[in-house]
Amino acid sequence: MKQRIVLALGGNALGNNLPEQMKAVQSTAGTIADLIAQGHEVVVTHGNGPQVGMIQQAFEVAARHDPKAPHLPMSVCVALSQGYIGYDLQNALREALLARGIHKPVATLVTQVEVDKNDPAFLDPSKPIGGFFSKEEAEALMAKGERLKEDAGRGYRRVVASPKPIDIIEKETVSAMLAAGQVVITVGGGGIPVLREGNHLRGASAVIDKDWASARLAELIDADMLIILTAVEKVAINFGKPDVQWLDQLSVADANSFIAQGQFAKGSMLPKVEAALSFATSMAGRRSLITLLEKAADGIAGKTGTLISL
């Protein structure tokens, strides 16, 4: 049965540096192309953790050597990461589709995501970005109004907020491209965070969780399924313990109960479960799946993964 699917790629689908990325997208593209070959309408989203950090760090190094070198705002760094990840991914996906005899245009869309300036996340930025600074360097930057925090004894790093997504600015463009039979790569790195000021969209010093942004996109384009791809085949409770339990299905009640118990790690599985839960409860008939990239097709068929639905 043909479905409209938002496929949120995990970090393992893109590698940690440019050579790894170029290699990783080849197998990633093959899996996505197989889903399209089955008749599904697929929108691809992805993270940008290592990539946006490398971009930020490169400009930090340049600024240390040349005072005239710009310090790019986070919104611009995210935009740059969307471009260079999309470049590799769209070319690999185009090639994989053509190898299967499928002639579909594939395009990366530079995507902005609206956030609320009053989001509590802006009061306590906690997402570390870029390279490390000594205490003296950090104090000098903080004196200029920048936000830095000590990071696990390794030095100081810039920190930004991670607010929740409100709206996907280019949602109509995504829908139009889908209606034209195209494959869209969008909301890269959670989207470029912007604040709405009348008719103007101003970049925000923030990063948006890509799973939450993917869930919001899935709602707005009326997707049937949100698939969040990660490093494990299924969601587990008591993870890492002798009595670990891998979950085939996760009801809304159980999901909320497990979240309250602290079963899911804040930096990894928790935002995935919360985002999946948000989409699955947004309308009857919508489903979320959390699984491995290579198990996506089996997950859609109900053979594996963790399914979340009303």
Pick the catalytic residue from 127, 171, 234, 295.
127
**Tokens standing for 148?**
């830095």
pLDDT of 191 > 90? The answer is: yes
Q: Are residues 32 and 111 both part of a single domain?
A: yes
Q: Which domain does 222 fall in, by range?
A: 4-116+165-309
Pick the catalytic residue from 47, 171, 189, 210.
210
Q: Are residues 78 and 182 both part of a single domain?
A: yes
Which secondary-structure segment (H or E) carries 25? helix 18-37
pLDDT for 174 equals 98
Q: Are residues 206 and 152 both part of a single domain?
A: no
56, part of any domain: yes
Q: Are residues 67 and 142 both part of a single domain?
A: no
DSSP state of 73: -
266, part of any domain: yes
pTM of this prediction?
0.91
For this structure, is 267 an active site residue?
Answer: no
Angle at 246 between CA 276 and CA 224, to 5 degrees: 30
Phi, psi of 223 (to 5 degrees): -75, 155
CA dist., res. 84 & res. 59, Å (int): 16
For this structure, is 11 an active site residue?
Answer: yes
Ordered DSSP codes for 259-284: HHHT-S-TTTHHHHHHHHHHHHTSST
For 195-218, write each residue's pLDDT tens digit.
999 999 999 989 999 999 999 999
pLDDT of 146 > 90? The answer is: no
CA dist., res. 100 & res. 103, Å (int): 9
Q: Are residues 145 and 30 both part of a single domain?
A: no
Which of 62, 79, 155 lies closest to 113, judged by CA? 79
pLDDT of 257 > 80? The answer is: yes
Q: Are residues 169 and 144 both part of a single domain?
A: no
CA distance readout (Å), 72 to 46, 56, 264: 22, 7, 34
Pick the catalytic residue from 10, 11, 30, 188.
11
- Nearby residues of 109 by Cβ (< 8 Å), 6 or more positions away: 170, 173, 174, 177, 184, 185, 186
121, part of any domain: no
Please list the helix, strand and coil fractions of the chain in percent, rounded to the nearest 5, in that order: 45, 25, 35
- Nearby residues of 19 by Cβ (< 8 Å), 6 or more positions away: none
Pick the catalytic residue from 164, 171, 234, 272.
272
By three-state DSSP, how is residue 147 classified? coil
Q: Are residues 79 and 99 both part of a single domain?
A: yes
For 169-188, write each residue's pLDDT tens digit.
999 999 999 999 999 999 99
264, part of any domain: yes
Q: Are residues 131 and 108 both part of a single domain?
A: no
For 84-98, write each residue's pLDDT tens digit.
999 999 999 999 999
Give me the residue label for tokens 């790569």: 185
108: domain CATH number is 3.40.1160.10
Q: Are residues 101 and 35 both part of a single domain?
A: yes
The residue-averaged pLDDT of 46-67 equals 83
247, part of any domain: yes
For this structure, is 256 an active site residue?
Answer: no
Q: How many domains does the chain have?
A: 2
Q: Are residues 286 and 149 both part of a single domain?
A: no
Q: Are residues 235 and 304 both part of a single domain?
A: yes
Which band of pLDDT confidence, cut at 50, 70 and 90, is reported for residue 12?
Answer: low
Q: Is 145 exposed, middle or buried (0-12, 13-18, 19+ CB in 10 A)?
A: exposed
Q: Are residues 142 and 275 both part of a single domain?
A: no
